[in-house]
Chain A
Amino acid sequence: MTESSCVWIYAVADDAASALTGGLIGVGGGAVRPLSAAGLTALVGSVAESEFGEAALRQNLEDLDWLERTARAHHEVIETVAKERPVVPMRLATVYSSDETAARMLLERAADLRQALTRLAGRSEWGVKAYLAIPDDGADGPQPEVGEPSTGPGAAYLRRRRDQLAAHRDARQDAVASAQAVHVDLDRLSASARLYPPQSAEIAGHCGSMVLNAAYLVADDRAEEFGAAVTGLAARHGTLQLTLTGPWPAYSFVGQDGTEDAQ
């Protein structure tokens, strides 16, 4: 039964989290269970090697449908537990061959993990994005009209294009400057901050260009203040439309080795 399964780790938490796994379903539809060692509890699940073993993973990770399903399942487990206890989320596809080897990892990393849990306690991640609040034709302008006079459709198109770009350049520069100002202000209210590259409009499901895509680690007792600050900044910077998501588990703040900031 266990010969063809391996151990998927969602996150590491303290021992109090072991009571939170009841009924939780994770990747591959498998149950989530606690695995305790060194005074820490890893949230793990047994997964089929045929789907989550090395060879299978390499293929499956390239399959966007599989990836979405798995990413959402991974996230939902982490999110559920993070509502109750501080967690150190593991990157997707952290897989061990057995409970023993997973427990050994907990032992080896115990000090770092405990330190990270302490740092994340009472804090959550919030996502803030800023979009240009103006119609943005930068990526795909209107099509040139058919049947233009002899000046040539190419010339007309290029002229129109150039004028459009010029007209929008100033607005964009304003928006980018505003986005930076927003970031500076929100950074002050945060324990830590991370900037991500903007997402493309298609993926973000939003028509304006994204000019800020940031994550902030905010103390839970300042979450309201943080939200109010975002609202205030939105009012002050009319060129931007802001979105606020959260609270997230602190994905962006566990770093490469569980320490705050290697940078």
Chain B
Amino acid sequence: MTYGNVATPSSGTVRRSGVAGGPQTANLADILERVLDKGLVIAGDIRVNLLDIELLTIKLRLVIASLDTARQVGINWWESDPWLNAQAADRAAEKSHDQQELEEENRQLRNRIEALESGERNGGSRGD
């Protein structure tokens, strides 16, 4: 059985996209990442409540990188990297919640596999 969409792996390559005056327009995620999350933060006297922006940023974060997905594939190493990251603490609450959900889901899946496999060994009969 083969996968539906096997992309031809073009390993060892660099895709270059110019930002300044380049052929490609900078992608939105890259821009949002920078203008919302980075840049100098000074509260103007028209108070866009910073809290609102933080909330929005968290929402975008969930869109930009599902932490669940990232953890599942083991690419959450940035979270513990000492280079990072002022917002790690902000994410802690959210993280532990995600973690709990993930662990619970894992547990349920393991139980299901066990149940199904033991069902097979018993000739497919289900002893409810």
**C-beta contact mask, B1-16 vs A, less than 8 Å → 1, else 0?**
1011111011111111
> Do the beta carbons of A245 and B30 come within 8 Å of each other?
yes
Q: Which residues from A are CB-within-8-Å of B31?
A: 71-72, 75
Query: A71-B36, A200-B64, A248-B34 are contacts. A263–B86 as well, Cβ < 8 Å?
Result: yes
> Do the beta carbons of A258 and B40 come within 8 Å of each other?
yes
Which size bracket describes the interface of B in this complex?
Answer: 35 or more
A243 nearest CB neighbor, chain B only: B15
Query: A150-B124, A254-B39 are contacts. A155–B65 as well, Cβ < 8 Å?
Result: no
B124 nearest CB neighbor, chain A only: A150
Q: Which residues from A are CB-within-8-Å of B38?
A: 89, 91, 194, 251-252, 254
Q: Which residues from B are CB-within-8-Å of A245?
A: 16-19, 26, 30
A115 within 8 A of B: no
B73 nearest CB neighbor, chain A only: A138
Contacting A at CB under 8 A, from B44-93, are 44-49, 52-53, 56, 61, 63-67, 69-70, 72-75, 77-79, 81, 83-86
What's the A-B contact tally at a CB cutoff of 8 Å? 255
B33 within 8 A of A: yes
Query: How many A residues, CB 8 Å from partner?
Result: 104
**C-beta contact mask, A127-161 vs B, less than 8 Å → 1, else 0?**
10000011111110010000000111011001110
B84 nearest CB neighbor, chain A only: A195
Q: Which residues from A are CB-within-8-Å of B70?
A: 197-198
Q: Which residues from A are CB-within-8-Å of B14?
A: 230-231, 234, 241-244
Query: A61-B52, A71-B36, A91-B38 are contacts. A158–B83 as well, Cβ < 8 Å?
Result: no
A118 within 8 A of B: no
Q: What 8 A-B pairs have minimum CB-CB distances, sorted nearest first? A: A251-B34, A133-B11, A91-B39, A155-B116, A95-B46, A251-B38, A197-B65, A238-B11
